[in-house]
Amino acid sequence: MRLLFVAGLTIGALAVPAAVNATTATISPAKVAVHLNKRAGGFVDPVAVTTARDGATRTYVTEQRGTVRLVTGGTHVHSGFYLDLRSRVVSGGEQGLLSIVFDPKFSSHPYLWAAYTRKSDGALQVSRFHASSASATSVSASTEVGLFTVPHPQFTNHNGGQLIFGRGGYLFISTGDGGNGGDPFGNAEKLTSLSGKLLRIDAEHFCGAHHYCIPSTNPFHNASNANKRLVFDWGLRNPWRFSIDAADGSLWIGDVGQDAFEEIDHVGINGGKDFGWSCREGNTTYNSSRCSGRHMTGPVHVYSHGTNDSNGCAVIGGFAYHGTAYSFAKGLYFYSDYCSGHLWALGRNSSGGYPSARVGEAGGIHLTGFGQNDSNEILAVAQNGNLYRLVITKR
C-alpha cells in the first residue's frame, strides 16, 4: 500500500469530535503490551482476514491478486482457492481484491460479498457470490451478481474497499476519494459522488432492479439522486480499514492521511457525519477553500508522520477488543501503521477522552489489515505473507 503525498499544509480551526455513547475501556492503554503470534504463512500479498462467524472456526484470508484462501483449525492453509477472481481483478499498488464479508446468517444463507478493482476500468466493484453450502471449500466466480460500482476513471489509488455488516444487518462499504493527492475532484464532500464515503445498504433484500435496498435510516434515503441515497458518512480521504465495535455497534475508522497526519474516527450508530476531508487533514486545515458551510466531525486521535511516530505513512485501522482470552483489555482499540510497524492501543475513558499508547512493534512486515475470529479475538495479516493473532499482556 503506497500513499501519494502532496505539499501544502496550512493551519486552521476545527470542530471537536462528536460525542459517542460508547463502551469505556476497562484498562488504560499504557498498561498493556501486545505482540503478534504467527498462525499461518505462505499467502501472497494478503490484505484482509475475516471469518463467517458461523461457529465453524474457519478463517478466510483475502489476497490482493484476487484470491481468497481458506484456513481451518487456525493454522492449516488449504491448497487451492476458496474464491478466485484473478481474471476480473486489476491488482498492484492500492488496487486488487480488497476485502470480503459473509452473510450474518451464513450457515443457513451461504452468501458472501466482495469489493475489488475491476480489470476493465479500475472501478471499485461490489458484488455478491453464492456458496453451495456453508461448509464448501470453494465458491465459483460464476455465481457473481454485481450490486454497484464506484467509478475510478483517472487514478489508481484511494479505493477504500472494506466490507462489514453492522447493527441491523446492514452492509457498510468504505470508498476512497478517487485518488491522486488533495482530492482534485472534491469527491469526498460531494454527496452525489460515491467516493470518499461510508456507504450503507440492505444487502439481504432486493428493491426494483437492484440487488439491495436503501435502509430507511440512511441520512439521505429519500434523496432524488441515487448515489446520495447510499451515503451514510462522508468527508473521508481513504478509509482503508474500518470496523464495527462488537459491544455497541459504533464505528471505528482509520482514515489514511495526506502529507503529515493519520486519523482515527469513532462515531455512533447514527449516520450523517462529515469528517472534513479535504478541508482538513487530521486536526489541521489542508484546503481552506473547501471548508465553507460544512459541519465537521473531528477525529478522536491523530498521529503525525514525524518525531514521536517517525516513518508513519498509512494508518491500518483495527478493532476494539471484546474477546475472552484477555478480558482485562475489553474496549481497547488496537491499530497500526503500514510503514512504521508501530502497534497502538486507544481507549475511551470515563471522561470521554481517548488516551493512546504505543503497545508493541510489528517491525518491517507491513501490516495491511486486522480482523476478528468468531470469539472476537483479533487477527492480522501482513505483506510478508503471514497470518497473526494479537496477544495482549498486562504491563
Supply the pLDDT for residue 295: 97
- Adjacent-strand bridge partners of 371: 379
Supply the pLDDT for residue 18: 52
Supply the pLDDT for residue 138: 98
Q: What is the DSSP letter of 306?
A: S
Supply the pLDDT for residue 382: 98
Angle at 277 between CA 274 and CA 282, to 5 degrees: 100
SS3 31: helix
Supply the pLDDT for residue 311: 78
Q: pLDDT, tens digit, for every residue of 52-63?
A: 999 999 999 999
What are the φ and ψ backbone dihedral angles of 230, each rounded to 5 degrees? -80, -20
Supply the pLDDT for residue 320: 98
Q: pLDDT, tens digit, for every residue of 282-301?
A: 999 999 999 999 999 999 99
| Ordered DSSP codes for 216-232 | TTSTTTT-SSHHHHHEE
Supply the pLDDT for residue 126: 98
- The predicted model gives 189-208 an average pLDDT of 97
Q: What is the DSSP letter of 48?
A: E
CA dihedral sign, ordered 286, 259, 234, 376? negative
Supply the pLDDT for residue 8: 30
- The predicted model gives 30-54 an average pLDDT of 98
Give me the percent of the chain exceeding a pLDDT of 90. 91
Supply the pLDDT for residue 20: 62
**Statement: residue 13 has pLDDT above 50:** no
- For 102, the grid coordinates are 459473509
Q: pLDDT, tens digit, for every residue of 135-145?
A: 999 999 999 99
Supply the pLDDT for residue 23: 83
Residue among 192, 229, 182 at smallest CA distance from 208? 229
Q: How far apart are CA 331 and CA 247, in angstroms?
A: 8
Q: pLDDT, tens digit, for every residue of 319-360?
A: 999 999 999 999 999 999 999 999 999 999 999 999 999 999
Q: pLDDT, tens digit, for every residue of 84-125?
A: 999 999 999 999 999 999 999 999 999 999 999 999 999 999
The pTM for the full model equals 0.94
What is the pLDDT of the chain when averaged over all its residues?
Answer: 94
- For 112, the grid coordinates are 458472501
- The predicted model gives 11-36 an average pLDDT of 75
Q: How far apart are CA 303 and CA 165, in angstroms?
A: 28
**Statement: residue 10 has pLDDT above 60:** no
- Give 59-124 as a 3 state SS string: EEEEECCCEEEEEECCCEECCCCCEECCCCECCECCECEEEEEECCCCCCCCEEEEEEEECCCCCE
